[in-house]
Amino acid sequence: MLVAVALLPAIAIQGYNEFDRRRARQFDVQDHALSLAKLAAADQQQIVQGIRQVLIALSELPSIKSRDSSRCIAYLSAIKQRFPAFITIIVTDLNGLSFCHTDGKQVAVAKRSYFTRALATGAFTVGEFSIGLSSDRNVIQFALPFYDDNRSMGGVIIASLGLDWLGDYVARKASTGSALAVTDRNGTYLARYPDNDRFVGMKMPGFKHLMMEGRDAVDIADVDGIERIQSRAVLEDESGGFVISFGLDKAQAFTEIQRETLRDILLILLSTTLVLALASLGARQFIHRPLGRLVDAANQWRRGEFSRRVDIGADGEIALVADAFNTMADALECRERELSKAKDAAEEAAARITTIFESTNDSVLIVDRDWCIQYLNGPAWASIAEGHDIIGKTLFEAFQDDRQIEVLQQIEEKTSEQQPAFVEVYCPRRNIWYAINAFPSSQGFAIFLRDITEHKHALEARHQMEEQLHQSQKMESVGQLTGGVAHDFNNLLTVVSGNLELVETATDVRKVRKYAAAAQRAIDRGTKLTAQLLAFSRRQTLNPKVFNASQRISEFQDLVRQAVGAGYEVKLRTDDQLWLCYVDPSLLETALLNLVLNARDAMPDGGALQIETRNIVVEEGALTGCVAGPYVRLSVTDTGCGIPPEVQDRVFEPFFTTKEVGKGTGLGLSMVYGFVRQSGGHVAIESAPGEGTTISLYLPKAAQKAEVEEDVKPAQLITSGSERILLVDDNKDILEVTSEMLTMRGYQVSCARSGAEALRMLQSDQEFELLLTDIVMPNGMSGVELARDARRLRHGIKILLTSGYARDALQRHNAVDEFPIIRKPFRLTELARSIQAVMKCTKSATADR
């Protein structure tokens, strides 16, 4: 019996060789089938692409684009004769009705799926198996939309390929004993060899299984009952999604292997019989007795008696086995001693860990993989279990409060991925904050709970202090801003008030005009101050344009040189390849002038001033506060006294200035900063005491093309008018002065103090050609609402809105660019010009959008 068992490996090896040979043959046949399938798929791909090229050529025919039926039919008939594989070629309109047919018939294909897909995708489309509408033959359609000369889709060109021709083509490509089939994306036979006529139009059995198998080749019983090794290749969806299957007869492929296998089996049987006969004779003498001793010794080792050794008393293989067994017994005896020592060490380590857990102030829980609690230290027993015995319970059984269950679910989610979990949770019943850490292991996980109530209170106190500090800084900034505004406006009001008092007492007309001019200059400075405040707050109205900054500065340089005066060298360095930027050009000129004047004031004894433009791409994080991207950098560099580091952080604050009293408002750089930031750019300062200063404006690169500037029309002559105007303003003084200004120009003015009063006048029989109304009027409807009601009541009435600051109100009413606007304060000439523009259905050049 032992010899027979000993022969089993040899028999197994021989059997494996036979199996490996059959498997190798299987792989060879599968590879061959796959190669043939891919080759057949390549042929089908060429056919589809050839048809696609034919349809593309047809789509460019003038007779098709112009829908010339006679010329189209003649050409398509010639194409059909040249390509007999096509049953029909038709051209349809977008409704699926043919206007060109090689058979001269009219068919409707709107319900065909390939037609719908062609219209939806606008691309070459392959259909499925179908019966031709006009030919009643088995066909498959190929469709391609065509476009007219205006690039609009004009219809679809459809070619029907006869499946009889495809069957003959497939038969020529197949070999004896093989099976070649072509199916559409739905698994319907388009062509098959052999028995093409029998299977065309039928569903391939097991098609879905074949498609989903995921292997290159499979053994199947084919539809004709023959077992074959079949492989497939699938064309891309844009080529029709055809499935090309190629099968080789398995019986023919393995005929030679079967003969070799029978011969090898006979040889194995003869050799095995001979070996068994010889082995049984020697087994009785040399094997049975020594093995009996080995068995006895093994039984004693199994019971843990490792002192027993085996002595065969002879040379040979069994003696070597006995020596190996004795060596194994020595190793087992040594291993037993090591395991005993390791057990003692593990028990000692567990005791030390328990001591550590018991000595800590944190609560510690040890949980197994089933979420059952195995251990709690003293603090956990007192504060978490509260004296209850929860050993052996699951965490969800021990802690059933909704908040506790939510925390346990968070821990479960983290530890299920073998990741440590951390949760901070508040216990309202005990008014304690806990930090919970859970550390998973192969045996479960350990949970540590620490009381962090004092830490939480400290963080809360720190947050409150930071909020108080932020509030105090904000109030300080607001105080500085309001103080500066109050100081400058009080000065301006003093000038206006004083000059008006002088006007009241003056008798000389020239002095009256002098005092009025001085008051008007103060008003202009107030208007400029308001514009600077809006620029600083980034709420001014911008009129950005696409232009070349170098060209603009070159045109502006004479004014710059005039502003700095003699004794200063002005250098202009521009980039000839400078990108276009997209900002408000007039505000950029004002910003540049502010920078130049600041640079001049930093060089009281004269010096050099350089203006430079260049292209720059800011990388991510390269410039603090600047978004990465392409910019046009405009730099102004002086050789002046420089700016100390402690001052650089404040130079953009409103009303902050290092100049003497009366030498500056402190709003110049604030306006520059607000304008650039509102335009999507960035401002940077490089300076050091005694080394000069460079201020760089990073202007966003324009994505649009340069705008073509219109010719400036000559200023219109301001003439008087006679139209009837309804003037609305809640401020009595503004209402009176505006009414007087309009009356001086000849207009007939009716006044209203509120929107409701104006609405009643509009509903009366009075005639008005123009409504001039303030936008912001408290305690009632706004000017925008009044203007919309006026248009509803008086369809032909003109509208002109006015406001000191209108953007927020217009955005709130969604009325941006809906009505023309004149900004307060305005002069008589500006008001008259705006009214004339509105009456002529144009928008005033002074409009503030």
Residue 393 and residue 139: Cα distance in Å, rounded? Answer: 73
Q: Comparing 683 with 295, which gets the higher pLDDT?
A: 683
Predicted confidence (pLDDT) at residue 130 exceeds the cutoff of 70: yes
Helix H, strand E, coil C: the string for 52-107 is: HHHHHHHHCCHHHHCCCHHHHHHHHHHHHHHCCCEEEEEEECCCCEEEEECCCCCC
Question: Which own/partner contact pairs does 262-271 have at CB distance under 8 Å and 24+ positions apart?
Answer: 264/14, 264/18, 268/11, 268/14
Confidence of residue 491 (pLDDT cuts 50, 70, 90): low
User: CATH code for 362-451?
Assistant: 3.30.450.20
In this structure, are residues 769 and 750 in contact, taking their beta carbons and an 8 Å threshold?
A: no
Predicted confidence (pLDDT) at residue 367 exceeds the cutoff of 80: yes
- Over residues 6-43, the pLDDT tens digits come to 666 767 776 777 777 777 766 777 777 777 778 878 88
Residues 6 or more apart in contact with residue 763 via CB below 8 angstroms: 793
Q: Average pLDDT in the 469-488 region?
A: 58
In this structure, are residues 692 and 810 in contact, taking their beta carbons and an 8 Å threshold?
A: no
Residue 153 and residue 143: Cα distance in Å, rounded? Answer: 13
Residues 6 or more apart in contact with residue 548 via CB below 8 angstroms: 578, 580, 581, 706
- Over residues 702-716, the pLDDT tens digits come to 887 765 554 444 445
For the chain, percent of residues with pLDDT exceeding 90: 7
Residues 6 or more apart in contact with residue 154 via CB below 8 angstroms: 64, 65, 67, 93, 94, 145, 146, 147, 148
Tell me which residue of 550, 697, 693, 575 sits closest to 626, measured CA to CA: 697
Q: How many helices (H) and strands (E) does the chain have?
A: 25, 27
DSSP states along 314-331: S-SHHHHHHHHHHHHHHH
Paired tokens of 602? 């930093």
Amino acid found at 611: I
Paired tokens of 287? 């094997």
Q: Average pLDDT in the 74-79 region?
A: 83
φ, ψ at 697 (rounded to 5°): -105, 120
In this structure, are residues 457 and 464 in contact, taking their beta carbons and an 8 Å threshold?
A: no
In this structure, are residues 722 and 747 in contact, taking their beta carbons and an 8 Å threshold?
A: yes
Residue 193 and residue 177: Cα distance in Å, rounded? Answer: 10
Question: Residue 455's pLDDT is what?
Answer: 83
Question: Residue 846's pLDDT is what?
Answer: 36
Question: Residue 696's pLDDT is what?
Answer: 92
Amino acid found at 429: R
- Over residues 191-247, the pLDDT tens digits come to 888 878 888 888 877 654 454 455 567 777 777 677 777 777 888 877 778 888 877
SS3 515: helix
What are the distances in angstroms from CA 818 to CA 146, 784, 788? Answer: 44, 9, 10
Residues 6 or more apart in contact with residue 354 via CB below 8 angstroms: 375
Confidence of residue 484 (pLDDT cuts 50, 70, 90): low
Residues 6 or more apart in contact with residue 121 via CB below 8 angstroms: none
- Over residues 558-587, the pLDDT tens digits come to 777 877 877 788 888 988 899 999 888 878
What are the distances in angstroms from CA 723 to CA 109, 518, 822, 846? Answer: 67, 33, 18, 21
Question: Residue 231's pLDDT is what?
Answer: 76
Residue 445 and residue 725: Cα distance in Å, rounded? Answer: 85
Question: Residue 419's pLDDT is what?
Answer: 80
Q: Comparing 66 with 698, which gets the higher pLDDT?
A: 698
Burial label, 784 (beta-carbon count in 10 A; 0-12, 13-18, 19+) = buried
Q: Comparing 523 with 194, which gets the higher pLDDT?
A: 194
Confidence of residue 282 (pLDDT cuts 50, 70, 90): low
283: enclosing H helix or E strand: helix 255-286
φ, ψ at 364 (rounded to 5°): -125, 130
φ, ψ at 671 (rounded to 5°): -65, -45
Residue 385 and residue 398: Cα distance in Å, rounded? Answer: 8
Model confidence, pTM: 0.34
Q: Average pLDDT in the 781-803 region?
A: 89
- Over residues 155-192, the pLDDT tens digits come to 898 888 888 888 888 888 777 777 888 888 888 888 88
Q: Among 235-249, 273-287, 552-566, whose mean pLDDT is lowest?
A: 273-287
Q: Among 119-123, 323-327, 839-843, whose mean pLDDT is lowest?
A: 839-843
What are the distances in angstroms from CA 114 to CA 263, 581, 590, 598, 619? Answer: 59, 50, 65, 73, 51
Neighbours of 232 (CB within 10 A): 24
Question: Residue 604's pLDDT is what?
Answer: 82
φ, ψ at 787 (rounded to 5°): -65, -40
In this structure, are residues 783 and 803 in contact, taking their beta carbons and an 8 Å threshold?
A: yes
Q: Among 252-266, 432-446, 653-667, whose mean pLDDT is lowest?
A: 653-667
Residues 6 or more apart in contact with residue 22 via CB below 8 angstroms: 254, 257, 261
Amino acid found at 848: D
Residue 729 and residue 804: Cα distance in Å, rounded? Answer: 12
Second-level CATH architecture of 48-162: 2-Layer Sandwich (3.30)
Question: Residue 844's pLDDT is what?
Answer: 38
DSSP secondary structure letter of residue 711: P
Predicted confidence (pLDDT) at residue 848 exceeds the cutoff of 50: no
In this structure, are residues 45 and 235 in contact, taking their beta carbons and an 8 Å threshold?
A: yes
User: CATH code for 537-700?
Assistant: 3.30.565.10
Confidence of residue 554 (pLDDT cuts 50, 70, 90): confident
Question: Residue 620's pLDDT is what?
Answer: 87
Q: Among 100-104, 371-375, 531-535, whose mean pLDDT is lowest?
A: 531-535
Question: Residue 373's pLDDT is what?
Answer: 85
Question: Residue 209's pLDDT is what?
Answer: 46
- Over residues 732-745, the pLDDT tens digits come to 888 888 888 889 88
* CATH 3.30.460.10 corresponds to the domain 724-839: no
Average pLDDT over all residues of the chain: 78
Question: Residue 315's pLDDT is what?
Answer: 66
Q: Domain ranges for the chain, please list them.
A: 48-162, 362-451, 457-522, 537-700, 724-839
Confidence of residue 394 (pLDDT cuts 50, 70, 90): confident
Predicted confidence (pLDDT) at residue 488 exceeds the cutoff of 80: no
Question: Residue 769's pLDDT is what?
Answer: 92
One fold for both 48-162 and 362-451? yes
CA-based R_g, the chain, Å: 49
